[in-house]
Structure 1
Amino acid sequence: MSWIIDGADRETHTAALPVIGDHFEQLYASFWELPQLPAQTLELCRLRLAQLHRSHADFELQKYPLASAKRDSLKDWHRGELFTAAERACLEFTEIYAMDCRNITDEQATAVKQHHGEVGLVALLQALGVFDGVIRLGLIWQTSATGVTDNGH
């Protein structure tokens, strides 16, 4: 339960804010449909943010199916052979974004662009901003992630 609104999950919180709740849910759901970035890559980045912010609820949530071996080895993505070069570029970008987005280097941005183009880099930045905000709000509100709709993915 949050000190703001009674309710244990994000769905309850966003439902209590009808002016923005539905629009936010639509925005969140739209990331899994982006043609610029594979949904699997976005899910890896979302999960890595959850790990870095120590949000167990967000890490347990499955927005897009992943192989369990890949999910289980996400902490060691830079050492494991399960991750593609494109996923590694996005995960490296995600880690720096989570710590301090001002420290993202041109080389890291270029690595993402090599795999997904400039539009893909912008899409990643937008998705990370929303994912990061959702995870941080969940930690502040002490909510579970179970209320976020998965839209069948």
Structure 2
Amino acid sequence: MDTRLNYFATPAAGEALKHFMSAGKVLKDMPLPATTQELVALRVSQINGCAACIDMHTKEAAAAGESPVRLNLVAAWREATVFTEAERAALALAEQGTRVADAAAGVSDEVWTRAARHYDEEQLTALVMLVSFMNAVNRLNIITQQPAGEYRVGQFH
């Protein structure tokens, strides 16, 4: 697959991308557990079919100690017994937040309430921002056909 556009090398987008990507770095420091962040980023990317982000977040999660079993089961988290109730709540919120066009109400009250049982307001803010950020990055990568498979852990940190 050939990349349509290397937006990192485009001077016109350079300043905007610098700020955009720094938002992603800020999210890493927010009070949402790192494991949850990687699982959510991976699930959003799976739903959107962003191969570059799936590659990145699978490798980052594995480097952080995430087990291959859990990584392989993210796509089927509802049927898997390896995720905590808090992680399940975050994954449900990530799915509905990504598939907003599929439901008239966007994120249901039930999913929001379940997430709010496990995460405080700061963590919920981080979760919502992460889901939104990942959807934006996924779209940038999909539109420009960014390839997968060559990501190195820590490449964008």
TM bucket normalised to smaller: 0.7 to 0.9
Partner of 1:105: 108
Task: Answer yes or no: is 1:138 the counterpart of 2:138.
Answer: no
* Alpha-carbon offset, residue 12 of structure 1: 3.4
Task: Answer yes or no: is 1:31 the counterpart of 2:27.
Answer: yes
Mean Cα deviation higher: 124-133 or 15-24: 15-24
Q: In 1, Cα distance between the equivalents of 2:67 and 2:9?
A: 30
Alignment of 1:11-90 (within 5 A): 11-12=8-9, 17-35=13-31, 37-61=32-56, 62-64=59-61, 65=64, 66-90=66-90
Q: In 1, Cα distance between the equivalents of 2:70 and 2:156?
A: 20
Partner of 1:128: 131
Q: In 1, Cα distance between the equivalents of 2:100 and 2:17?
A: 28
TM-score (norm. length: structure 2): 0.81
Q: CA contact under 8 A between 1:63 and 1:150: conserved in structure 2? A: no
Q: In 2, Cα distance between the equivalents of 1:134 and 1:71?
A: 20
* Alpha-carbon offset, residue 16 of structure 1: 5.3
Counting matched residue pairs gives 144
Using the aligned pairs only, state the percent identity: 26
Mean Cα deviation higher: 138-147 or 37-46: 138-147
Q: In 1, Cα distance between the equivalents of 2:91 and 2:19?
A: 27
Helix, strand or coil at the partner of 1:82? coil
Q: CA contact under 8 A between 2:8 and 2:14: conserved in structure 1? A: no
* Alpha-carbon offset, residue 95 of structure 1: 0.9
Q: In 2, Cα distance between the equivalents of 1:141 and 1:125?
A: 25
What root-mean-square deviation, in Å, do the aligned CA atoms of Structure 1 and Structure 2 show? 2.2
Gaps of 5+ in 1: none
Helix, strand or coil at the partner of 1:73? helix
Q: In 1, Cα distance between the equivalents of 2:78 and 2:22?
A: 32
